[in-house]
Structures are given as structure tokens and as C-alpha cells.
């Protein structure tokens, strides 16, 4: 009996061709593994297709709830936006897929695992590092990276070996899960070309969004969303609800030039309506309940957290250490945020919390204010002291006596008639 390899199987061209290619090149029996993280695809016949191509066994796992609780919720608490734009939708799912791949490999007694990542993207790093961290004894096979075939070559290989593939007329290459959808290729490879409407599936064009503003309320507890529009539901359903509501209002499209881990500047287009909504709402609530110093330091932690996850270092101990700090800050991040959507835009229009540091009696300008305005004089004197002393030293007239300012007659002179 041949030894086994477990292949992360999506049912697409790359991984379908990989079943036959691995068998021919390495002489291994291929076991396929499909993990549902909310990619919204029909997975009902994917196991039969894998076996038809040559897989000896197939595992299908539903990990949507686990994906949200273990990966999405921590990313909300971290306000994670790589380079200030990308909410890590694909990056967050990869370590979970790699973990499931290793678990199936150990169950099957396989000597290797395989994935369909290319040699020029970030996903290969995320898969490989996580797999090696979890089980360094497993060999990793990446057919697309090894064979260096382009799409046309793969199609010819599939046709030659009678591998069933879908007739895909789209010029775009997409990847999606509950947290977002990435769109690449075709006209998007020109960073000056506006993405056409047909590239998007989750977000309607802004001009076709409802003509009246739509509102949404999110309740948080310890930094995690627990209800939307006053209704509690499963984490998966909450994400889906917000994704639909934000997307139907045209909100959630990201179009930016991204620095890939492998050194390539890449034009990336994403649809992440739920991710952007939750992160912006959570970030606003933090402003209400955390101190200036907490917010300032946490912003640096958030940048590092996003970088580690984007770079495939989910298993890095420093990420766990950052999580510990983030979790400590979230003990007071509870409350409600109200959002307003209109024609592709979204803004926070209200927030409240039992942990709020906002005090009306200090902030108000009416006569009930308890703030002593005279105290500001001494504060300004001490706050500006270092700058004043430094500027005295830097002044070209330092050390010189200055002539007294001329007296100004406050009484206007009278001209003789």
C-alpha cells in the first residue's frame, strides 16, 4: 500500500490537477480535505469529484463557527487592518486550514500534506509555517509552486488526463470566506483601472444602494460583538447579517496597493463589508472607554499584530503575548455603537457604554460645568515650558537684550477739523 499525502482541496483547477500530478510524481495516495470557512460554495459534490479524479479518501469539515470565534473575534479586538486597509480576511483563515490539514494527516497516518498555493503569494508562507510549527515531521508538497505551470498549461493537463474542471468564464481570480472576498487578475492588474461592477458580488454599486440611510446597532461585551440590531444569534449569523446589510448599502470595498510578504507591490481589491463595519465600530467604542495612553500604545500593538498575522506568523509566541495585552484592554470594551450607511459610506453616529470615560459635567460648556478653566493657565505654562526654553536657545537673538515693545495708545487720536 502506498503512503499518503493529505491535500487541501477546494475543487478548483489547481487542486484538482494536483491530485493526479502528486500521484504521478510522488507515487503517493492522495487524501483530500475540504474545510468550510464560509466560502459560500456548493460543497455537496466535492468529495465525489475528488474521488473521481483519484483521491482514495475525502474529509469535509465545517469550521465556520470555529473560524469566527478563534480567529475573527481576536482580529476585531485587535482592530486589525494590514497597512491600515486590509482586515486580513484570507490571512486569518489560512492557519485554521493548515491546522485542520495537519489533524487529518495525523488521523490518516500520512507522511505529507499538500496545498495549492503559488510561489509568488503570501498564502504559501502562512500554510508552510503553520504546518511546520504544528508537525515538523510532515513533508510539504506545493504542486503549483513546483511545476511552474500557468493556467493554460493546467487546463491542457486536465484535458489530457480527463480531469473534470468547471468552465470558468470570469477573468477574475477570487478567494472568499465569511470575513471577506479577495479579487485579483484581469483588468485589476492595472492599478489605474477602476474595478468594473461585475468584479463585485457582496457590495452593490454605491449609486444603486438604497436612497434612504440605513442604520445598524452592534452590542459589544469585552470587545466581542454579542448582538446586532438588538438580536442575539450565532457568531456566524451575526457576521452574515452585517455583511449583507453593509454590502447592500454599497459599503465594504477596499482598493489599495499592498506590500506582499514576498516583496511584490500588488494591487489588491477586496469586499469586506462585515469586517470593516465591526472593526470601525469596535475601534470607536474603545475611544469611549479606554484612556489616551491605552489607545496610543494599543495602536502600536495592533499594527504589529496585523503584521504578524499577514506574514503567516499566527503561531509566533509574540502574537500570543500581544493577545494577552489586547485581552487585558478589552475588559471594559462593552457597550453599543450605532452606525449609519448611505450610498457606499458608513460612519459612527452614536456610542454608549456603562464603562464610558466621557463625563458630561466636565465636557459641557453650560453653567453646570465642573471644570475649572483657571486651572488651564498653570497647565499651559508647564506643558509648554520645554518648547519655550528650547526655542529661546535656538533663537538667533538668544542672549541679546530686546528693546521694549512700544506703547500703544488705546485712545484714538483726533484729527483737527
From the candidates 16, 29, 80, 123, give the one annotated as an active-site residue.
123
Which cell numbers in the block locate residue 376?
A: 488651564
- Largest distance between two CA atoms of the chain: 121
Q: Which entry of 18, 94, 182, 351 is annotated as an active-site residue?
A: 94
Sheet-wide strand order for 29-36: 57-62, 29-36, 4-8, 112-114, 139-141
d(CA 28, CA 1): 9
Beta-carbon count within 10 A of 396 CB: 5
Q: How far apart are CA 324 and CA 314, in angstroms?
A: 14
Q: Give the separation between CA 238 and CA 242, rounded to whole angstroms.
A: 6
> 14 an active-site residue?
yes
Partnered with residue 342 across adjacent β-strands are 345
Catalytic residue among 14, 128, 219, 284: 14
Give the start-end residues of each E strand in 178-298.
180-184, 214-221, 224-228, 253-259, 265-271
Contacts of 308 (CB under 8 A, 6+ apart): 314, 316, 318, 319, 322
Taking a C-beta distance cutoff of 8 angstroms, is the pair 81, 44 a contact? no
70: nearest Cα among 30, 50, 101, 97: 97
| Euclidean distance between CA atoms 183 and 268, whole angstroms | 7
Q: How many CB atoms lie within 10 A of CB 304?
A: 13
- Residues written for the chain: 417
- 347: number of Cβ within 10 Å: 11
The SS3 call for residue 59 is strand
| 42 included as an active-site residue | no
Tell me whether residue 18 is one of the annotated catalytic residues.
Answer: no
Residue 198's beta-bridge partner residues?
Answer: none
Q: Is 132 exposed, middle or buried (0-12, 13-18, 19+ CB in 10 A)?
A: middle
- Please confirm, yes or no, whether 94 is among the known catalytic residues: yes
Q: Which of 36, 51, 173, 338 is catalytic?
A: 173
C-alpha cell at 314: 499566527
Residues serving a catalytic function are: 14, 94, 123, 173
Amino acid at each position: 500500500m502506498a503512503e499518503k499525502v493529505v491535500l487541501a482541496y477546494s475543487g478548483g483547477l489547481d487542486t484538482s490537477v494536483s491530485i493526479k500530478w502528486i500521484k504521478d510524481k510522488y507515487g503517493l495516495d492522495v487524501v483530500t480535505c475540504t474545510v468550510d470557512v464560509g466560502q459560500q460554495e456548493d460543497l455537496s459534490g466535492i468529495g465525489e469529484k475528488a474521488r473521481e479524479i483519484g483521491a482514495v479518501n475525502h474529509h469535509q469539515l465545517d469550521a465556520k463557527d470555529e473560524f469566527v470565534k478563534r480567529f475573527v473575534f481576536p482580529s476585531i479586538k485587535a482592530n486589525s487592518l494590514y497597512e491600515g486597509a486590509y482586515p486580513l480576511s484570507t490571512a486569518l483563515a489560512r492557519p485554521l486550514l493548515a491546522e485542520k490539514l495537519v489533524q487529518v494527516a495525523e488521523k490518516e497516518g500520512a507522511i505529507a500534506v499538500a496545498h495549492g498555493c503559488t510561489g509568488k503569494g503570501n498564502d504559501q508562507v502562512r500554510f508552510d509555517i503553520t504546518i511546520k510549527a504544528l508537525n515538523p515531521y510532515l513533508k510539504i508538497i506545493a504542486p503549483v509552486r513546483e511545476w511552474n505551470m500557468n493556467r493554460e498549461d493546467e487546463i491542457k493537463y486536465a484535458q489530457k488526463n480527463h480531469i473534470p474542471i468547471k468552465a470558468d468564464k470570469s477573468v477574475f481570480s477570487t478567494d472568499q470566506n465569511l470575513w471577506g472576498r479577495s479579487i485579483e487578475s484581469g483588468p485589476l492588474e492595472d492599478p489605474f483601472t477602476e474595478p468594473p461592477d461585475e468584479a463585485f458580488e457582496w457590495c452593490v454599486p454605491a449609486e444603486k444602494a438604497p436612497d434612504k440611510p440605513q442604520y445598524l446597532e452592534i452590542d459589544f461585551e469585552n470587545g466581542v460583538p454579542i448582538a446586532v440590531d438588538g438580536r442575539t444569534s450565532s457568531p456566524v449569523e451575526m457576521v452574515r447579517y452585517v455583511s449583507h446589510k453593509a454590502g447592500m448599502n454599497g459599503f465594504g470595498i477596499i482598493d489599495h496597493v499592498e506590500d506582499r510578504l514576498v516583496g511584490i507591490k500588488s494591487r489588491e481589491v477586496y469586499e469586506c463589508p462585515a469586517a470593516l463595519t465591526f472593526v470601525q465600530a469596535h475601534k470607536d467604542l474603545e475611544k469611549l472607554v479606554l484612556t489616551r495612553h491605552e489607545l496610543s500604545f494599543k495602536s502600536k500593538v495592533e499594527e504589529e499584530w496585523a503584521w504578524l498575522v499577514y506574514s503567516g506568523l499566527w503561531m509566533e509566541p509574540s502574537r500570543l503575548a500581544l493577545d494577552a495585552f489586547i485581552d487585558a484592554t478589552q475588559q471594559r470594551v462593552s457597550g453599543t455603537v450605532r452606525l449609519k450607511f448611505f450610498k457606499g459610506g458608513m460612519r459612527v453616529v452614536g456610542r454608549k457604554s456603562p464603562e464610558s470615560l466621557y463625563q458630561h459635567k466636565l465636557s459641557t460648556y453650560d453653567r453646570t460645568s465642573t471644570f475649572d478653566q483657571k486651572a488651564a493657565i498653570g497647565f499651559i505654562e508647564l506643558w509648554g515650558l520645554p518648547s519655550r526654553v528650547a526655542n529661546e536657545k535656538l533663537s538667533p537673538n538668544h542672549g541679546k537684550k530686546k528693546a521694549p515693545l512700544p506703547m500703544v495708545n488705546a485712545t484714538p487720536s483726533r484729527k483737527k477739523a
